[in-house]
Amino acid sequence: MKALKNGAYRIYTLGEFEVIKDEDSLTGTAASSKKIWELYKFMLTNRTRKFTPETLNDQVWISESYSDPRVTLRRQMHRMRQLLKEDHLPETEWTIRFENGYYFWNPNLKVQIDSADFESFLTAENCNDPDVLSNCLKAISIYKGDYLPDLYEQHWVFSVRNYYRRLFLNALNDAVDTLYGLGDYSRILDLCQQAIQIDTYEERFHIEYMKALTAINRKKDALAHYDEITSFYYREMGLKPSEDFKNLYKLLVSTVPQRDTEDFIASLTAPETFENAFYVEPDIFKSICELEKRRNERDGKTFIVAVLRLTPLAKQHSLAREQYRIKHFTSHLMTHLRKGDSFTLWNQYQFLILIHGASESGLHAMMDRVIQNYEQPEYLSVDYVEAMPQTYR
């Protein structure tokens, strides 16, 4: 974005949130003014609409109740003007104006918004332009990640976030298709690497990346990337590759020399790529427990399965919020369990953790550490169950 002066705003919403006025960031106090910035983000997102005070309260703070929403909102708007350094300006220059009983975003505001610039390069008119590749590349360079990524509970942001994400994916696909036609594989690799940094869980980025590597005869690099990313998926979230991803892998394997036992030995002696606990799928977890049970029968080594329960969230919380909590707690377990411990999400609210080689006191100390270091320990409870067959069936 170009530099803006004379009271103009520059707003970043894709992959980050920042408001800059006269080259000074105004969002350094975002953590201590969360509700104010939530209100600002809502009005920014809905800047073509008008809202009554009651509607605005219901939309932004759906789980909260105020005895006098009009007074509450006036107070919040006043604080917002202070944050935006507008309290000394005439009302016509405020970011959020109030007129005839409605709040609305000032249409005459001097502002530059990254998401608006991003969208402008991908309008129907631009796509019909002969320079469509240039427009796609400009849009891709602006997109740094999800729209307002720090908002994960507010229902109103999901559809907008998905809209910008679809635009980005379509722009990337159009650019890649055009670059394939031009034979510009190095540019494709650059675009895919940029996209993977933004969202490493989007499989199509990896597929296009591997196709480009294959096109320049770097099939072994493509196979290595497949091994790396599928291991990462499985380790982090227990995800399996899609059929398209597996079919591409099979095609590559059929055209390169097969690996011998030296590759396997080398992989065992190579430096470890991760230091955390293992997340596995429930079926794999059950198999591991069965192996541990057999080893117990052979040499007497004991193990225990701990059951960690997450208390369900209140009904007003969205499914997206619940999924985020599960993902966040999975990462928490990976970093707070011991290296080599295995665990799985057994059902919607229960994690099973396989623990071996720990004394009773050490076991309780370890689980206490897991719970106490979690940001919401009141949502957790733990049971200790001997790892007999009935435990994991």
> Bigger pLDDT: 181 or 3?
181
pLDDT tens digit sequence for 166-208: 999 999 998 999 999 899 999 999 999 999 999 888 899 999 9
Question: Under DSSP, is residue 375 helix (H, G, I), strand (E, B) or coil?
Answer: coil
Ranges in the chain annotated CATH 1.10.10.10 = 9-113
Report, as an integer, the average pLDDT of 306-323.
68
> Bigger pLDDT: 65 or 81?
81
Contact present, 302 and 296 (Cβ < 8 Å): yes
Does residue 385 surpass a pLDDT of 50? no
> Bigger pLDDT: 198 or 265?
198
> Bigger pLDDT: 233 or 1?
233
User: In which band, very low, low, confident or very high, does the pLDDT at 283 lie, cut at 50, 70 and 90?
Assistant: confident
Does residue 232 surpass a pLDDT of 90? no
Ranges in the chain annotated CATH 3.30.70.270 = 278-392
Report, as an integer, the average pLDDT of 302-318.
71
Backbone phi and psi for residue 313, each to the nearest 5 degrees, phi listed first: -75, 165
The architecture of the domain spanning 278-392 is 2-Layer Sandwich (3.30)
pLDDT tens digit sequence for 21-53: 988 889 875 556 888 999 999 999 999 999 998
pLDDT winner (highest mean) among 180-184, 270-274, 297-301: 180-184
User: In which band, very low, low, confident or very high, does the pLDDT at 273 lie, cut at 50, 70 and 90?
Assistant: very low
96-114 CB burial, b ≥16 within 10 A, e <16? bbeeeeebbbbeeeebbbb
The CA distance from 339 to 373, in Å, is 17
Question: Burial of 309 by CB count in 10 Å (0-12 exposed, 13-18 middle, 19+ buried)?
Answer: middle
So what's the pLDDT on residue 221? 93
Ranges in the chain annotated CATH 1.25.40.10 = 114-264
Class of domain 9-113: mainly alpha
| Percent of the residues in the chain that have a pLDDT greater than 90, as a whole number | 36
Does residue 386 surpass a pLDDT of 50? no
Range with the poorest average pLDDT among 51-65, 103-117, 265-279, 280-294: 265-279
Contact present, 164 and 120 (Cβ < 8 Å): no
Does residue 319 surpass a pLDDT of 70? no
Contact present, 106 and 97 (Cβ < 8 Å): yes
pTM, rounded to two decimals: 0.65
So what's the pLDDT on residue 34? 85
Contact present, 206 and 229 (Cβ < 8 Å): yes
Could you say which DSSP state residue 19 is in?
Answer: E
The CA distance from 319 to 39, in Å, is 22
Does residue 388 surpass a pLDDT of 50? no
CA dihedral over 182, 184, 189, 192, signed as positive or negative: negative
Domain 114-264 has CATH 1.25.40.10: yes
> Bigger pLDDT: 332 or 93?
93
pLDDT tens digit sequence for 322-331: 677 777 788 8
